Structure 1
Amino acid sequence: MHAATYGQASSAEPPGPLAYRPIVTRSRTVHRTIAPVAYDCVELIFVRDGSAILLSEFGEQPVTVGDVVVLGANILCGGEPEGSITVTTLYLDRDYVIDQVFWQHAAILADRWEAQDFADELYSEPAQILHLGEHRAGMLMPWLDELVALSLAGPLPDRFYRLQALLFAVLDVVTPYVKTTAVRRSPTQRKATRSGSPSLHQFAPLRGEARQAVQLLRERPEQRWTLQELAAAVHLSPSQLGRVFVDAYGKTPMTYLSTLRAERLARLLRETDMPVEAAMREVGWHTRGHAARLFRQAAGVTPTRYRQLSREPHTAAGNCPHTTKRTLSA
């Protein structure tokens, strides 16, 4: 089956920097080896025709019609078609995915940061091959074709709910096959925190230097990084690293570091009795006022208030969640 069967769906690459779009779908036929690349998004790759040998964190594995490849954000994957392979790929923005996890498990999660931790534990295998079978996968093809058509049509707010409905219909079939890890959670207060502006992810292959810089920041967020030190570590000039990093992650390295520190501080405030100032130092902030300002920018409240909110009992049953939001923004 050739990609032309799907009409315009044969567009080969993810979209460029158009507008913020949390769901993008493309179909393509591949005849040549695909070098390993990583995207800053969650990918679901549906094999429609042909076969290939894929190489990722699951090792070297064959895929054929009826298989679905699930890749977490920033997971390298390449492949060699056995003749040719036709696939449809769903690119899902990370923040959008975490938002769905949060609302699915809102009764036991405090906020979207905790949802991120929860998702990391629940989906501990970031690269999986799901064997749906040709018949079951074939049932999804009309939905995937419509998703492709809607994506190619560009940003259409009036059709977003149709786009989302199609995505949920596909996920309803796929998710029972996804391997998960048992996660234990005691009930915590349901609340929402003010989220930042959506990052302008381009769904383009990530430069190796950008991935290396992120790995350094995530491994040692407590280090007193400067842009010059980080750039030297990945063998780029500061200006080059800035451009590469913003292209990959939609924010500067230092902004990314602040967000990372805020996430880790929130976890320490939720899960430990460590004094606030000690927790700030633990994540790399050594000035209380500076740390409180950056944390408030990310969470909408001060670290002290965040700890109080994370330990308050549940609101009364039936309360509208907007009540909690007003309390947080007060």
Structure 2
Amino acid sequence: MIRAAVAPLAFNCVTVTVVRDGSAILLSEFGQKPINVGDVILLAANTLCGGEPEEQMTVTTICADTDYVIDQVFWQHVGQLQDRLDAQDFAATIYTEPAQILRLGEDRASALEPWLDELVALSTEHRPVENFHRLQALWFSITHVIAPLIRTSEMRLSSTQRATTWPAVPRIRRFSPLRREARRGAELLRVNTARHWSVGDLAAELHLSKSQVSRLFVDAYGKSPIAYLTMLRTERMARLIRTTDDPISMIAREVGWSDPDFAARQFRRSIGVTPRKYRSMINDHAAQMVG
């Protein structure tokens, strides 16, 4: 139950919030909107959002790891996607609105309540192995109802739209609010992966000490700043291999690795195959689709 204003926060996960009672004004980075009982608030990872309730309101929020969501996108569209990285790009293309209010309606929202209550109860038992299949069944029952209302598009239609998926993050981590510096640091690395970053460089940009930056990234993303940068470079390299015919050595330099052999080792460690093998798999898949 929420009785006071909630300052805008961002989480490194997808959140689904069902309004079960009351009303409020939603304050997101894309404006202010009224929400009422029967609404579902869908927020992409790293999307700032807060709210001001009118008296009080009751909500249930589900946090879904970004890896988990991308895996579902892949298996839902497995007939046209090559791999999980392909699914990440696909999701970024069609799910372009990072903050959506789904007007489910009070009747349909009330039908979700038994599933939401059971999902919460099982989650608090901290028995993920024993409750795994029931938790999955409840999640899919809920998403089956709300998914048809999620807005998608084949291209970006407005200036407020942006890709909702972010690079893969560890599966086991806390769903806690991201600090502003963590969001800024991740954005700096993401927009300039080719820069020869050091922890000291990033610390200077964020006006923090190197030890503070390291703790910040581990708390927010489960890995060090350099490991996070390696993840970004690997995913960008895979994307360029899929979408261009550029030599792999050139692609390695473009993402920030001057040594092609080192790039190949990092790529294989993350993806499971060498860059050349990955390109061969992509080409074979494309040939099968044409055939």
Give me the whole-angstrom Cα distance separating, in 2, the residues matched to 1:182 and 1:279: 27
What is the aligned partner in structure 2 of residue 143 from structure 1? 115
State the 1:159 CA deviation. Answer: 1.3
Specify every segment of 5 or more residues in structure 2 that has no aligned partner in the other structure, as ranges.
156-167
What is the aligned partner in structure 1 of residue 264 from structure 2? 292
| 2:273 paired with 1:301 | yes
State the 1:182 CA deviation. Answer: 2.4
User: How is 1:208-223 mapped onto 2 (pairs within 5 angstroms)?
Assistant: 208-223=180-195
Q: Secondary structure, in 3 states, of the residue corresponding to 1:91?
A: strand
User: How is 1:1-330 mapped onto 2 (pairs within 5 angstroms)?
Assistant: 29-182=1-154, 198-313=170-285
Give me the whole-angstrom Cα distance separating, in 1, the residues matched to 2:288 and 2:264: 30
State the 1:110 CA deviation. Answer: 1.1
Give me the whole-angstrom Cα distance separating, in 2, the residues matched to 1:313 and 1:280: 23
Give me the whole-angstrom Cα distance separating, in 1, the residues matched to 2:102 and 2:62: 15
**Distance of aligned partners of 1:31 and 1:268 in 2 relative to their CA distance in 1, 3 Å threshold:** same
Question: What TM-score results when the alignment is normalised by the length of structure 1?
Answer: 0.81
* 2:67 and 2:169 in contact (8 A); partners too: no
Give me the whole-angstrom Cα distance separating, in 2, the residues matched to 1:165 and 1:199: 19
Give me the whole-angstrom Cα distance separating, in 1, the residues matched to 2:243 and 2:288: 23
Cα shift readout 1:269-318 (whole Å, capped 9, x = no counterpart): 0110111111111111111111111001001111111111111047989x
Give me the whole-angstrom Cα distance separating, in 2, the residues matched to 1:93 and 1:138: 25
Specify every segment of 5 or more residues in structure 1 that has no aligned partner in the other structure, as ranges.
1-28, 184-195, 318-330
Give me the whole-angstrom Cα distance separating, in 1, the residues matched to 2:110 and 2:274: 51
State the 1:155 CA deviation. Answer: 3.0
Question: What TM-score results when the alignment is normalised by the length of structure 2?
Answer: 0.92
* 1:47 and 1:87 in contact (8 A); partners too: yes
Q: Secondary structure, in 3 states, of the residue corresponding to 2:59?
A: strand
Q: Secondary structure, in 3 states, of the residue corresponding to 2:80?
A: coil
**Distance of aligned partners of 1:130 and 1:313 in 2 relative to their CA distance in 1, 3 Å threshold:** closer
Give me the whole-angstrom Cα distance separating, in 1, the residues matched to 2:285 and 2:77: 17
Runs of at least 4 residues of structure 1 off by over 6 A?
314-317
Number of positions where the alignment pairs a residue of Structure 1 with one of Structure 2: 277
Give me the whole-angstrom Cα distance separating, in 1, the residues matched to 2:65 and 2:265: 27
Cα shift readout 1:209-233 (whole Å, capped 9, x = no counterpart): 1110000011111111000000110
* 2:169 and 2:221 in contact (8 A); partners too: no
* 1:38 and 1:206 in contact (8 A); partners too: yes
Q: Secondary structure, in 3 states, of the residue corresponding to 2:61?
A: strand
Q: CA RMSD in A?
A: 1.6
Cα shift readout 1:167-217 (whole Å, capped 9, x = no counterpart): 00000000000000127xxxxxxxxxxxx9944320001011111000001
Q: Secondary structure, in 3 states, of the residue corresponding to 1:157?
A: helix
Q: Secondary structure, in 3 states, of the residue corresponding to 2:34?
A: strand
Moved more, 154-163 or 96-105: 154-163
Give me the whole-angstrom Cα distance separating, in 2, the residues matched to 1:316 and 1:273: 18
AA aligned opposite 1:158: E
Give me the whole-angstrom Cα distance separating, in 2, the residues matched to 1:52 and 1:220: 38
